[in-house]
Structure 1
């Protein structure tokens, strides 16, 4: 019953947002609320929703101030030299732009933080897409594909969860995955090239893309907010912020809050200018935060009712016993839907130990199954349960439903390529 409810909730959510019948925010809150209340969990709903929001609160605060900080830096002109350098390198060539997007995302993703990667790459590349009249869905697609592969880094999250859950070292889990990541990244660059060629032909035939959102991170340029004389000051402040983030000196939400306040005072000492910056970008920050907290309610209900665990266990139980010797391949295949429909915590701490316990009876080592469980990460970041996904689409000014439809086939392609590569190389 719980499994049916879980898939009913997620299916209803996907259908409604992809057909643009509801916004992600309203769907994330109302669909689980309605279905679970009907199922008889009414008395516990408040507690579950509160716990879900509490778990995601710091992430929401971090994203609000991260958007405000980087938006301020864009207004002040911090990224202008980078944008101009990239524009000079790629010229008016969509193919070079898409490949450049994949390369920049790969490099920035080395810090392991998806949110900062999205902000930095979109801030640097979206102005180029606008100048060339390219579809911003291509930008979000390539960023997510590259980010999904780089998410396998030990400090990215999933791999750390596998090592913690199975009590294994990075040499057992991550090091064998490095060749597979290179295969995945090769696929991403091939996709970037294909999308660049298609966009170049589209522009030549139909003209430049014009339907950009006024709420994206690049926004409307206001030359009165430019602070070229503070370029190096802003660069140093940003580098300090990134260092604090990488070394995890203080919570990231607090770091962004402090950094924004310092940047606002340095760049815009006049109160009216500070208010102008905040009011200019408040809509974007609030829109992202709203969806983040709504996602907290959604996952809070899934966890609190036990639906998330039931979904994972039910999928495992449908595997015939005769397929036991292929558990490593089955784990890799099912990691795609499981990491899409479940959170990483639910999958790696709740489901993976059950899989490895089964594997031990069949003589399949836990490190093999641990690596197999990471194959699905190539598609995981497209999941509606990943908070940073809403940040990406908001920064680029595209609809989540449009991004999902555009990127899904390429993300599944990434997972298939990773699976084939893992089998050929004997990684799983």
Structure 2
């Protein structure tokens, strides 16, 4: 009981302080779980083990952040995106809806591999300068992009189905066939969200800047210090280098961070041959890198404590025990409805290896098939995972978009949650999810 209550209090405090802006994530990720573990009687040796296990799951993403942020910072410095932005502005001609539909298409194709970091890297950096020119809020672009990621995440090789197939002891391809109608419906919901977001942005004045921006000379508007960093004669080198980086991401099994590490070295060596200039570029992008890496490594502390103490399963069992019988008969729908909130606080492994088996066992007593339980819970919990503070890829999206976690959660939570609920409702109405 104490373990479960501690977990609820920890997560409640985490969300409160994050959304109120009363503390930075790094502080909360370190202080709250350690206090929670101490309250439940764990000693320093145990806590040290929890931290080691948790950080081991996030260090590679932290390393990726170092080189991703630096690489795209260098590409921005040298002006690689300028020509692309000017071309896109002329093509868009102020049509904001077209930009949002491009986001849907890019995110759909980018997430075919089920890899969120790759999708962020493909979709956001190239569009970010364009959105600034057209006065489109990047938070709206991120909301649409994240909605597509959550829908496309339900592929056989994605994290949700891979974990669920282990729990259900069935082939992930067969499980995907059951998910597919909801996934297709969800994709059209993403298109609908793109339409809604584009209309909201147009009402705010987005797109009206396009005509003016397209006719401006970038050189005339730029700061002399910015111009000094640009390398227009090396445009094709930088484009080819960036294409090569993404080809390696898709076509090889090399760690992502090693690919961007090599990209950073080649970008710096050719664009800024002088070692002092290279050091200056690294120093210029260091503040954002340090903040993100510290946050991601700190998130590993919370992940380690939540997973290794059994706190997540204890919380699920407490909810099940206090619910009235008539709700227990529809427990999978209860957890599906609140799945967006659950997915914010719980990393995927305890979700599908800890909570899901408990749900399946309880629902079986009321004749609910395990597959229906898995689908309902999977869609619900997956709907807002792109906002989860305990998932490292969230911070990559924040890094490339320039948003804070608070801004991202406040803007995107309800649109993403509603898309998930619509998918669940569609599954219930069509009989794919047993009620």
TM-score by length of 1: 0.87
- The alpha-carbon deviation at position 362 of structure 1 amounts to 5.2
Tell me the equivalent position of 2:22: 21
Is the contact between residue 107 and residue 145 of structure 2 (CA under 8 Å) also seen in structure 1?
Answer: yes
Tell me the equivalent position of 1:355: 359
- The alpha-carbon deviation at position 93 of structure 1 amounts to 3.8
Q: Tell me the secondary structure at the aligned position of residue 85 of structure 2.
A: helix
Tell me the equivalent position of 1:216: none
Of 52-61 and 173-182, more deviation after overlay is shown by 173-182
Of 407-416 and 305-314, more deviation after overlay is shown by 305-314
- The alpha-carbon deviation at position 57 of structure 1 amounts to 0.9
Is the contact between residue 368 and residue 427 of structure 1 (CA under 8 Å) also seen in structure 2?
Answer: yes
Q: Does 1:421 align with 2:426?
A: yes
2:311 paired residue among 298, 307, 312: 307
Is the contact between residue 140 and residue 393 of structure 1 (CA under 8 Å) also seen in structure 2?
Answer: no
1:332 paired residue among 336, 350, 368: 336
1:288 paired residue among 285, 288, 292: 292
Tell me the equivalent position of 2:153: 151
Query: What is the CA deviation profile of residues 80-116 of structure 1, one whole-angstrom value per residue up to 9, with x for unaligned ones?
Result: 4443343223223434333333333223222322123
- The alpha-carbon deviation at position 382 of structure 1 amounts to 1.7
Is the contact between residue 51 and residue 304 of structure 2 (CA under 8 Å) also seen in structure 1?
Answer: yes
Tell me the equivalent position of 1:412: 417
2:349 paired residue among 345, 349, 364: 345
Is the contact between residue 375 and residue 418 of structure 1 (CA under 8 Å) also seen in structure 2?
Answer: yes
Q: What is the aligned-residue RMSD (CA, Å)?
A: 2.8
Q: Does 1:393 align with 2:395?
A: no
Q: Check 1:317–1:80 CA distance in 2 against 1; reply closer, same or farther (3 A cut).
A: farther
Q: Does 1:273 align with 2:274?
A: no
- The alpha-carbon deviation at position 344 of structure 1 amounts to 0.5
Tell me the equivalent position of 2:231: 227
- For 1:323 and 1:153, the matched residues in 2 are separated by 30
- For 2:293 and 2:30, the matched residues in 1 are separated by 14
- The alpha-carbon deviation at position 248 of structure 1 amounts to 4.7
Tell me the equivalent position of 1:176: 178
Tell me the equivalent position of 1:372: 376
TM-score by length of 2: 0.86
Q: Check 1:427–1:305 CA distance in 2 against 1; reply closer, same or farther (3 A cut).
A: same
Unaligned runs of 5+ in 2: 211-221
- For 1:313 and 1:248, the matched residues in 2 are separated by 42
Query: What is the CA deviation profile of residues 373-408 of structure 1, one whole-angstrom value per residue up to 9, with x for unaligned ones?
Result: 321212222222122222222332222112211212
- For 2:197 and 2:312, the matched residues in 1 are separated by 35
Q: Tell me the secondary structure at the aligned position of residue 223 of structure 1.
A: helix
- The alpha-carbon deviation at position 34 of structure 1 amounts to 3.1
Is the contact between residue 28 and residue 298 of structure 1 (CA under 8 Å) also seen in structure 2?
Answer: yes
- For 2:303 and 2:256, the matched residues in 1 are separated by 22
Unaligned runs of 5+ in 1: 209-218
Is the contact between residue 295 and residue 387 of structure 1 (CA under 8 Å) also seen in structure 2?
Answer: yes
Q: Check 1:255–1:312 CA distance in 2 against 1; reply closer, same or farther (3 A cut).
A: farther
Q: Check 1:106–1:425 CA distance in 2 against 1; reply closer, same or farther (3 A cut).
A: same
1:182-221 equivalences in 2 (<5 Å): 182-203=184-205
Tell me the equivalent position of 2:75: 73
- For 1:40 and 1:348, the matched residues in 2 are separated by 27
Is the contact between residue 118 and residue 392 of structure 1 (CA under 8 Å) also seen in structure 2?
Answer: yes
- For 1:85 and 1:164, the matched residues in 2 are separated by 47
Q: Does 1:136 align with 2:138?
A: yes
Tell me the equivalent position of 1:110: 112
Q: Check 1:67–1:155 CA distance in 2 against 1; reply closer, same or farther (3 A cut).
A: farther
Tell me the equivalent position of 1:10: 11
- For 1:325 and 1:60, the matched residues in 2 are separated by 42
- For 1:145 and 1:296, the matched residues in 2 are separated by 25
- For 1:237 and 1:175, the matched residues in 2 are separated by 39
Tell me the equivalent position of 2:216: none
Paired positions, count: 417
- For 2:92 and 2:200, the matched residues in 1 are separated by 17
Tell me the equivalent position of 1:34: 35
Tell me the equivalent position of 1:53: 55
